[in-house]
Amino acid sequence: MKIPSNLWRRLGLGLLGVVLIVALVYVVMRSGPLAPVRVTVTQATVGSLSPSLFGIGTVEARRAYLIGPTAAGRVSKVLVDVGDTVQAGQLLAEMDPVDLDERAAALDASIARAGSAIAAAQAQRRDAQARSELAAITARRYVELGAQKFMSAGAVEAKQQEQASAEAVVASADANLAAARQDTQRLAAERAGLRQQRDNVRLLAPANGVVISRDAEVGSTVVAGQAVLRLIEPTSLWIRVRLDQGRSAGLVEGLPASIVLRSKPSARLYGKVARVEATSDSITEERLALVAMDTPPAGLSTGELAEVTLTLPTPAPAVLLPNPAMRRQADQVGVWRLEGGKLRFAPVRIGLTSLDGQVQVLEGLKAGDEVVVYSEKELTADSRIKVVDALTGSQP
């Protein structure tokens, strides 16, 4: 009776000891420096990736117009409001003409007066003409009489001088008439100029468009070049996209684009690159491209943020790896290859990358090579590893 009980106790204690030792061994192997680093591996495959570029941009109007006066002045009329659709040539606003109308009236009066001056000059000319004709007839008769010796030479010469004087008076009257006519022309030109100035204070729409802002109201003074109204052509909306210079290789005109507007995150619009700017921003290190939409949606607002993905042409098939496999050791980019359970760092040269995280490996790896993708820790060549299917899920 006593011996079995003792045996039980011995067994129990022994079992407890074994359990404790097993637990300790398990704990030591699972954590601390002896524990293996859990990793996942994948095989390099040959395939084509679908490279694309990603950038963000704002909706802008390709053609926007600032409507304002060419000289400082006061706004006297604003006829349209924000949101109004206007036609080319439509009167949008008018500046105060100040004294332009009065100056036009004065010029009109001057032109009328110039007309009278012409009439007077014509009458004077006719008078001079008549005198000249009479002087010519008289002179001719005196010359004939002088030839028959009925008149002294002195009398004949006096009549000839009278004829020359009368002709000179005609020429003078001609010149007076021309001057009066030129004066009229000058006044007419001045009036036309004034009329243009008068027209210039009328602000007209240069193209069909929509008013997007009304910057000055009636009575406010604006300087030359300051906007009273702003117009855009709603049909000319496009997106100014900024792309990181480092990730803009392959950006050319005509690339197909997929656009997501911030106001409609679930709707996808399509378009293509209409222009690539020749200069890029050196401060933000971004390149600029303008993307036109195939069918701009109704109610699009300028200044709205848009995410744009440009699809590049598919390159030739190459060895592909997911980008977490790329590791950096000192100054080399490479991958951790798994060869017979051992890790070896293999430097690689990488090519294009796609937005879903695939990387082209140009050199340093063959299809079918086993490569570490995810790891719990930074790896070294003598890390003890344990290959698992996935790393998250089993860890908190």
Partner 1 sequence: MISLAGRDILHSWGKFVLTGIGLGLLIGVTLSMAGIYRGMVDDAQALLDNSGADLWVVQQDTQGPYAESSSLRDDVVRSVLGLPGVARAANVTYLTMQVRRSQGQGKGYEGREDHEVRAMVVGFEPGQPGEPGYLVAGRHITRSHYEAVADVRTGFALGDRIRIRRHDYTVVGLTQRMVSSGGDPMVFIPLKDAQEAQFLKDNDAILNDRARTAANPALNRPGVPGLLEAIQASQAANHSVNAVLVQVQPGVPAESVAEPIRRWKHLEAYTRAQMEEILIAKLIATSARQIAMFLVILAVVSAAIVAFIIYTMTLGKIREIAVLKLIGTRNRTIAGMILQQALGLGLIGFIVGKVAATLWAPIFPKYVLLESGDAVRGLVAVMLICALASTLAIRAALKVDPAAAIGG
Q: How far is the CB of 290 from partner 1 (least distance, A)?
A: 18
Q: How far is the CB of 20 from partner 1 (least distance, A)?
A: 5
Q: How far is the CB of 323 from partner 1 (least distance, A)?
A: 5
Q: Which is nearer to partner 1, 183 or 215 (CB)?
A: 215
Q: Which is nearer to partner 1, 263 or 353 (CB)?
A: 353
Q: Which two tokens stand for residue 137?
A: 């007839």
Q: How far is the CB of 58 from partner 1 (least distance, A)?
A: 13
- Cα angle vertex 246, ends 241, 249, to 5°? 75
Short-list 316, 350, 345, CA closest to 330: 345
- The two counts, helices (H) then strands (E), for the chain are 3, 24
Q: How far is the CB of 197 from partner 1 (least distance, A)?
A: 22
Q: Which is nearer to partner 1, 149 or 328 (CB)?
A: 328
Residue whose tokens read 């790891």? 375
Q: Which two tokens stand for residue 261?
A: 């507007």
Q: Give dist(CA 227, CA 70) in Å, integer.
A: 10
Q: Which two tokens stand for residue 268?
A: 């996808």
**Which spans of this chain sit near partner 1 (rule: CB under 8 A)?**
6, 9-10, 12-13, 16, 20-21, 23-24, 27-28, 30-34, 54-56, 221, 223, 225-227, 243-244, 246-247, 283-284, 307, 322-324, 326-328, 330-331, 353-357, 374-379, 390-392, 395-396
Q: Which is nearer to partner 1, 190 or 307 (CB)?
A: 307
Q: Give dist(CA 79, CA 95) in Å, integer.
A: 11
Q: Give dist(CA 213, CA 80) in Å, integer.
A: 10
Q: Which is nearer to partner 1, 122 or 226 (CB)?
A: 226
Q: Which is nearer to partner 1, 24 or 119 (CB)?
A: 24
CA atoms within 13 A on the CB side of 159: 19
Angle (deg, nearest 10), helices 100-147 and 153-200: 170
Query: Helix, strand or coil for residue 180?
Result: helix
Phi and psi, residue 15, nearest 5°: -60, -45
Length of the chain: 396
Q: Which is nearer to partner 1, 9 or 140 (CB)?
A: 9
Q: How far is the CB of 220 from partner 1 (least distance, A)?
A: 9
Q: How far is the CB of 198 from partner 1 (least distance, A)?
A: 24
End-to-end, the C-alpha distance of the chain in Å comes to 51
Q: How far is the CB of 308 from partner 1 (least distance, A)?
A: 11
Q: Which is nearer to partner 1, 227 or 300 (CB)?
A: 227
Q: Which is nearer to partner 1, 279 or 392 (CB)?
A: 392
Q: How far is the CB of 116 from partner 1 (least distance, A)?
A: 47
Q: Which is nearer to partner 1, 153 or 378 (CB)?
A: 378
Q: How far is the CB of 350 from partner 1 (least distance, A)?
A: 10
Residue type present at position 267: A
6 Cα distance to chain centroid:
94
Beta strands at 37-43 and 385-387: parallel, antiparallel or unpaired = parallel
Q: Give dist(CA 69, CA 227) in Å, integer.
A: 8
Residue type present at position 34: L
Q: Give dist(CA 175, CA 102) in Å, integer.
A: 32
Q: How crowded is residue 293: how many other Cβ atoms within 10 Å of its Cβ?
A: 20
Residue whose tokens read 């010029």? 107
